Structure 1
Amino acid sequence: SRSDQENPFIFKSNRFQTLYENENGHIRLLQKFDKRSKIFENLQNYRLLEYKSKPRTLFLPQCTDADFILVVLSGKATLTVLKSNDRNSFNLERGDTIKLPAGTIAYLANRDDNEDLRVLDLTIPVNKPGQLQSFLLSGTQNQPSLLSGFSKNILEAAFNTNYEEIEKVLLEQQEQEPQHRRSLKDRRQEINEENVIVKVSREQIEELSKNAKSSSKKSVSSESGPFNLRSRNPIYSNKFGKFFEITPEKNQQLQDLDIFVNSVDIKEGSLLLPNYNSRAIVIVTVTEGKGDFELVGQRNENQGKENDKEEEQEEETSKQVQLYRAKLSPGDVFVIPAGHPVAINASSDLNLIGFGINAENNERNFLAGEEDNVISQVERPVKELAFPGSSHEVDRLLKNQKQSYFANAQPLQRE
């Protein structure tokens, strides 16, 4: 097995970089997946963002050149989405999910008086692979407004107003180097000074949320509004755990991105049985609890791009199976490539949120359990040839596990 440092499939919480931080909250960005291992080359254009804010705070209006899939991990939010001739507000709670198309101007408020708001975003940049550009609608001390990049003549003509009035009302008054866009990377110098997350009054929160719609608890097929991951029955469920999943077939918002979103609960002392995805690469975040995961891959999958030539030379000679394992804690992220079996053991009640890339026609195949066990589908003559034991012995062994999907993590215990 590999330690956490050598395991390319685990991204501990310290691999997030802080983009903004002040007394009201922070925004953090996970390192690029493909910088860790060449096996993640197909994730080059996917990034993971984490938002956290204190009660009664607001993320100021912002626009980013990336599609977002936003999931509320905890707390209560009001999300307002702006279009040129429309405005929609939504009251969001845990499990609520919504797609924000690239270029959307939106702002997010924590409307709770006591609980922190935690939000997870899968982002897919549309300009440069893996690189997000973001700008604010309004200016702050260190961050100019998106309008401040234009010349005085253009602004005066656009607003039919003299520049001094425009500057006073819309623009930051301090002298700034005019630039309407700045990469998130450039802003790291200012993370402790940015006023991107601000405190708001209870009255302001009430005004923002009073006309907001709530997510549909009955339907997951909304074209633009939020849907809740738990709005339908779990696809797998027993006393050891529950597995909720929304696929592109069930939700129009996810179709063009070809992504599924899932939420998995595993009870303390329980196991998500070994399984693999046929096509999907799944990016999983630990939101609550602790546990362990084991993933079966091939040797040298922990190598980065600089080792490509050496690995190509070894491809012909070595396809050794390798076990990768890691401890899981809140904030950790792990990636499950297609065709890589994984099992997850919960040492305390565990909640996971997953984004599945290449969702269309994906199948999840279980390697143990009473139902949906792909090994049990192998025909008798092939069992005789493929396994050391006889077909009868294989069938008898498979029937020892009476549970499906989730089971007791302690071996040799019968439920």
Structure 2
Amino acid sequence: MAMRTRTWEVVMLLALLVPSTLGWEYEKERGEEHEEEKGGIFLMRNSKQVMKTEGGEVRVMRGDDMRKESSGSMHIGFITMEPNTLFIPQYIDASLILFVRRGEMKIGWIYKDEMVEKNLKIGDVYRIPAGSAFYMVNTGHGQRLQIICSIDTSESLGDDIFQSFFIGGGTYPTSVLAGFDIRTLTTAFNVTVDELRSVMGRQKGGPIVYLKGSDQPGKGVTSLMQLKQRIRSSEVEFWAEDEEEKENEPKQATAWTWRKLLNSILGENRKRKGAVRSPDSYNIYDRKPDFSNNYGWSVALDENDYIPLRRSGIGVYLVNLTAGAMMAPHVNPTATEYGIILKGTGTIQVVFPNGTSAMNTKVREGDVFWVPRYFPFCQIASRSGPMEFFGFTTSARKNRPQFLVGARSILHSTSGPELAAAFDVPEERLKKVIDSQGEGVILPSWPVVDSPFIKTVDSDMVMGFD
């Protein structure tokens, strides 16, 4: 009998704290579906295909217009590259923080006027500043590369998602160099018109292309690394439609032209005494959890953990919840949060400032959600299995979420006569309810108990589980 009374008091307190959530579930039971209108307003459903080729694609989900951050709007990008493909050299008007979801890759970019290359694997986080020329290669043998990235548009030119300025290219995509007068380019490169045209007009495979010699469905191109190696060994071959064209091309002039192209475009300095030391990647899976208990764990990277985040003003996090577990209701006082479900299913609940439900909707792998700064919210894994989600925050400072329920909550810390008066209940009764939860941060699943209230409304349905 004591157990039933205690459970009833917990349920009643939850009803006081989130009445609209329970009311929303009753509406669903009556068949009044508002999933799209009310239940999913903080889900980012607008996926735009920015580019697509035989070698891969880039999709972007735009940040919601409701968000008004001084740092500008953040978008979430998804890059997919087939095995042995190259994302050709470019720079964009936005900063990127890359997270390798699957596969292996090599990224080359200009750091302090020098060309640097880094090998990245699953779990690695890496930053590319706005305006820095870069390229990416899928180096995983027979494995598709999947990258999730934040796109910070605070330095962007306009309202578009981002603007690519392709350095390499030909007819598709067109290199930004092609916009200059032909005499300007021949003078700048110190080459003939024919030599310049033989380089500038050949690429037509798109922004993501297969490397030469791979088993691609279309025609491939020579990789940038191969070109550099051949230049160093004076064994440069040119892209040609057939062997006859290769034989007719001046090999020495071609090698010289490519050396000038690489030196001019990628900043390669063959006379430098030592290679510049660029920032390393940070593997989030190698980090010891900041919090862990029997119900899950969480990791958060800030500017003190990974210095490049300080320059971007963006934080990174990763959370894993066991089946049925809940990230306790909490609020981020310093940042807006973006999340991507990496695996599993569950529920995201968000609350408006006036205490009404802003969102209470189920999510699955691939879904993207965002929660505005100050809005209370929680994430709940379904009973069918664990849920893992990764994301970004709009602050690189140490994130100190304020938990509203649980052993480490604001309610627990402020428990006293003032809080009891606010709820208009005896202090002892309030304390009994608040102290009932012995866990903090990540909470166990909703218990299956015998209660008149639970019989009326199924516990899974009340808490948003499957």
TM-score of the superposition, structure 1-length normalised?
A: 0.78
Pair 1:281–1:85, CA change in 2 (3 A): closer
Where 1:382 maps in the other structure, the secondary structure is: helix
The aligned counterpart of 1:374 is 410
Q: Which has the larger radius of gyration?
A: 2
C-alpha contact 1:29 1:50 (8 A) present in aligned 2:
yes
Identify the range of structure 1 (239-248 vs 133-142) with the bigger mean alpha-carbon deviation: 133-142
Pair 1:323–1:290, CA change in 2 (3 A): same
The aligned counterpart of 1:388 is 424
Alpha-carbon distance, 1:278 to partner: 0.9
Of 39, 50, 57, which residue of structure 2 is paired with 1:26? Answer: 57
1:8-19 alignment to 2 at 5 Å? 8-12=41-45, 15-19=46-50
Give the Cα separation in 2 of the matches to 1:223 and 1:78.
Answer: 14
Alpha-carbon distance, 1:114 to partner: 3.4
Give the Cα separation in 2 of the matches to 1:324 and 1:164.
Answer: 61
C-alpha contact 2:303 2:398 (8 A) present in aligned 1:
no
Where 2:411 maps in the other structure, the secondary structure is: helix
Pair 1:68–1:130, CA change in 2 (3 A): farther
Alpha-carbon distance, 1:207 to partner: 6.5
Alpha-carbon distance, 1:382 to partner: 0.9
Pair 1:362–1:405, CA change in 2 (3 A): closer
* 1:239 is the counterpart of 2:250: no
The aligned counterpart of 1:365 is 402
| Structure 2 counterpart of 1:227, one-letter code | Y
Alpha-carbon distance, 1:146 to partner: 1.7
Give the Cα separation in 1 of the matches to 2:379 and 2:390.
Answer: 13
Give the Cα separation in 2 of the matches to 1:57 and 1:42.
Answer: 37
The aligned counterpart of 2:239 is none
Of 189, 192, 211, which residue of structure 2 is paired with 1:159? Answer: 189
Of 169, 175, 180, which residue of structure 2 is paired with 1:150? Answer: 180
Where 1:256 maps in the other structure, the secondary structure is: helix
Give the Cα separation in 2 of the matches to 1:146 and 1:207.
Answer: 21
The aligned counterpart of 1:336 is 371
Where 1:385 maps in the other structure, the secondary structure is: helix
Cα RMSD of the aligned pairs, angstroms, is: 2.7
CA offsets, 1:104-143, max 9 Å, x none? 1111122212332111111123232543110222214321
C-alpha contact 1:20 1:194 (8 A) present in aligned 2:
no
Pair 1:47–1:127, CA change in 2 (3 A): same
Pair 1:85–1:128, CA change in 2 (3 A): closer
Of 172, 185, 192, which residue of structure 1 is paired with 2:201? Answer: 172
Of 67, 83, 106, which residue of structure 1 is paired with 2:95? Answer: 67
Question: Would you tell me which structure has more strand in proportion to its own residues?
Answer: 1
Alpha-carbon distance, 1:45 to partner: 2.9
1:2-401 alignment to 2 at 5 Å? 2-6=34-38, 7-12=40-45, 15-34=46-65, 38-40=66-68, 44-83=72-111, 85-125=113-153, 126-131=155-160, 132-169=162-199, 171-172=200-201, 195-200=206-211, 201=213, 224-298=279-353, 319=354, 321-347=356-382, 348-360=385-397, 362-370=399-407, 372-401=408-437
The aligned counterpart of 2:271 is none
Give the Cα separation in 2 of the matches to 1:173 and 1:54.
Answer: 22
The aligned counterpart of 2:8 is none
Paired residues, number: 356
Give the Cα separation in 2 of the matches to 1:41 and 1:246.
Answer: 20
C-alpha contact 2:58 2:78 (8 A) present in aligned 1:
yes
The aligned counterpart of 2:7 is none
Where 2:311 maps in the other structure, the secondary structure is: coil
| Structure 2 counterpart of 1:23, one-letter code | E
C-alpha contact 1:383 1:390 (8 A) present in aligned 2:
no
The aligned counterpart of 2:248 is none
- Any gaps of 5 or more consecutive residues in structure 2? 1-23, 25-33, 216-221, 230-276, 450-466
